[in-house]
Structure 1
Amino acid sequence: MDFDSYLALPRPSSLALSPDGSRLIAAIGQYDDETGKMISALWELDPSGTAEPQRLTRSAGGESQPAFHADGSLYFVSTRDDDKSAVWRLPASGEAEQVCVADGFRIGGSTVVVTTSMLPGAKDAADDAAQRKDRKTSGVLHTSSPARVWDQELGPDETRLQLANGRDLTPTPGNALVQAEYVVAPDGRTVIAKWFVPRLDWPLAQLVAIDTATGDRRVLAEDPAAGFYDPAISPDSRYVVAARWEDPQPDTAPVLGLVLVDLETSDLREVVNGRELWPTDTTSPAFAADSSALYVVAEDHGDRPIVRVDLATGAQTRLTGAGSYQAIQVAPDGTALFALHHDMDSPHTPVRIDLATGDVVRLMSSEVELPGRVERVEATAPDGATVPGWLLLPNSDEPAPLVLRVHGGPSASAGGWNWRWNPWWLVAAGYAVLLPDPALSTGYGMECMERGWQGWGTTVYDDVIALTDVVEQRADIDATRTAAIGGSFGGYMVNWIAGHTDRFRCLISHAGIWHLGGFQGTADYSGYFARQFGTPEARPERYADRSPAQYLENISTPILVTHGGRDERVPTGQGNHLFADLQRRGVESAYLSFPDEGHMILKPANARFWNQTMIDWLNRHLR
Structure 2
Amino acid sequence: MPTPFDALDDFIALPRVEGLALSPDGTTVVLTVAALKKDATGYERSLWAVPARGEGAPRRLTRSAKGESGAAFTPEGDILFVSTRDDIESDVDDEPGQLWLLPARGGEARPVTRLAGGVSGIAATAEQTARVVVSAPLLRSSDSIEDDAARRAERSTKKVSAILHDTYPVRFWDHDLGPAEPHLLGIDLAGLADTLAAAVEDTAAEEAEAVAEHIGSAAPAPTPYPATLPRPTDLMPTPGRALRHASTALSPDGASLVVSLDRAEPRGGRRILVRIDTATGETAVLRDEPGFDIEMPAISHDGTRIAYLRTAVRTPSGPTPEELWISRLDGSEARRVAADWDRWPSSIAFAAMDDALIVTADDDGRGPVFRVPLDGGEVTPIVSDDFTYSHVVVDRAGGGFVALRSSWLVPPHPVRVDATGAVTPLATPAPAPAAPGRITEVETTAEDGARIRAWLVLPEGASADAPAPLLLWIHGGPLNSWNAWSWRWAPLLAAARGYAVLLPDPALSTGYGLDFIARGWNSWGGKPYTDLLAITDAVVARDDIDETRTAAMGGSFGGYMANWVAGHTDRFRAIVTHASLWALDQFAGTTDSSDYWQRIFTSEAMFEHSPHRFVADILTPVLVVHGDRDYRVPIGEGLRLWSDLAEHHADAEGRMPHRFLYFPDENHWILKPQHAVVWYETVFAFLAEHVLGEEAAPPAVLG
Partner of 1:250: 316
Distance 1:296 1:223 in 2: 24
> Do the aligned partners of residues 464 and 144 (structure 1) sit closer, same or farther apart at CA in structure 2, a change above 3 Å counting?
same
Question: Aligned pair 1:110/2:130, yes or no?
Answer: yes
Alpha-carbon distance in 1 for matches of 2:331, 2:502:
51
Q: Helix, strand or coil: the match of 1:87?
A: strand
Quick one: distance in 1 between partners of 2:140 and 2:96? 20
Give the whole-Å Cα distance in 1 for the aligned partners of 2:432 and 2:182. 40
So what's the TM-score if we normalise by structure 1? 0.96
Match of 1:575 among 638, 642, 654: 638
The root-mean-square deviation of aligned C-alpha atoms, in Å, is 1.6
Match of 2:619 in 1: 556
Question: Are residue 228 (structure 1) and residue 294 (structure 2) matched?
Answer: yes
Q: Over residues 290-344 of structure 1, what are the superposed CA-to-partner deviations in whole Å (9 max), with x where a residue is unaligned?
A: 2211111121101111111111224322110111111111112352211111112
Residue 357 of structure 1 deviates from its aligned partner by: 5.8
Q: Which amino acid aligns with 1:100?
A: T
1:423 matched to 2:498? The reply is no
Map of 1:532 onto structure 2: 600
- List runs of 5+ in structure 1 lacking aligned partners: none
Distance in structure 1 (CA, Å) of the matches to 2:399 and 2:75: 21
Q: Is the 8 A contact 1:77 1:104 kept in 2?
A: yes
Structure 2 letter corresponding to 1:43 = W
1:435 to 489, 500, 503: 503
Range with bigger deviation, 87-96 or 420-429: 420-429
Q: Output aligned runs, 1:381-396, within 5 Å.
A: 381-396=446-461
Partner of 1:66: 71
CA distance in 1, matches of 2:338, 2:57: 38
Residue 107 of structure 2 corresponds to which residue in structure 1? 94
> Which residue of the partner structure matches residue 615 of structure 1?
684
- Alpha-carbon contact 2:40-2:673 (below 8 Å) kept: no
Q: Is the 8 A contact 2:286 2:331 kept in 1?
A: no
2:392 corresponds to which residue? Answer: 328
Judge conservation of contact 1:124–1:166 (CA < 8 Å) in 2.
no
Deviates more, 1:367-376 or 1:566-575: 367-376
Distance 1:162 1:263 in 2: 21
1:306 pairs with 2:324: no
| Structure 2 partner of 1:75 | 80
Which among 267, 284, 290 is matched to residue 201 of structure 1?
267
Residue 118 of structure 1: CA displacement?
1.0
Q: Which residue of 2 aligns with 1:409?
A: 477
Offset at 1:29?
A: 1.5
Q: 1:35, 1:433 → 2: CA distance?
A: 28
Q: How far 1:280 moved relative to its partner?
A: 3.8
How does 1:179-578 map onto structure 2 within 5 Å?
179-264=245-330, 266-273=332-339, 276-281=341-346, 284-322=347-385, 323-356=387-420, 358-364=422-428, 366-397=431-462, 398-534=466-602, 539=603, 541-578=604-641
Q: Which runs of 4 or more aligned residues in structure 1 lie more than 6 Å from their structure 2 counterparts after TM superposition?
A: none
Q: Letter of the aligned partner of 1:85 in structure 2?
A: G
Q: Which amino acid aligns with 2:591?
A: A
Q: Percent identity?
A: 42
CA-to-partner distance for each residue in 1:4-44, whole Å, 9 max, x for gaps? 33323332222211222222211111222335211211110
- 1:290 touches 1:334 (CA, 8 Å); kept in 2? no
Aligned residue for 2:267, secondary structure, equals: coil
Query: Secondary structure at 2:412's aligned position in 1?
Result: strand
Q: Report matched runs for 1:598-609 at 5 Å.
A: 598-609=667-678
CA separation in 2, counterparts of 1:257 and 1:217?
A: 25
Q: Distance in 2 between matches of 1:289 and 1:384?
A: 42
CA distance in 1, matches of 2:571, 2:378: 48
In structure 2, C-alpha distance between the alignment counterparts of 1:198 and 1:595, rounded to whole Å: 33
1:471 is aligned with what amino acid? V
Task: Quickly say closer, same or farther: Cα 1:89–1:213, change in 2 above 3 A.
Answer: same
TM-score (norm 2): 0.85
Deviations 1:381-411 (A, max 9, x none): 1222111001111112521111111100101
Give distance in 2, aligned partners of 1:22 and 1:75.
Answer: 17
Rounded Cα–Cα distance in structure 1 between residues aligned with 2:65 and 2:249:
29
Q: Distance in 1 between matches of 2:511 and 2:542?
A: 27
Partner of 2:197: none
Equivalent pair of 2:337/2:376 in contact (CA under 8 Å): no
Note closer, same or farther for the CA distance 1:557–1:356 as it changes in structure 2 (3 Å cut).
closer
Q: Which residue of 1 aligns with 2:233?
A: 167
Match of 2:675, as an amino acid? N
Amino acid at match of 2:22: L
Partner of 2:178: 155
The residue number in structure 1 matching 2:144 is: 124
- Greater percentage in strand: 1
Q: Rg bigger for which structure?
A: 2
1:605 and 1:257 mapped to 2: Cα distance?
42
Residue 350 of structure 1 and its aligned partner are, at CA, apart by 0.3
Amino acid at match of 1:614: V
Q: Where does 1:23-62 land on structure 2 (aligned, <5 Å)? A: 23-34=28-39, 36-62=41-67
What secondary structure sits across from 1:208 in the alignment? Answer: strand
Q: Is the 8 A contact 2:338 2:379 kept in 1?
A: no
Partner of 2:674, secondary structure, is: helix
Q: Say if 1:159 and 1:180, in contact at 8 Å, map to a contact too.
A: no
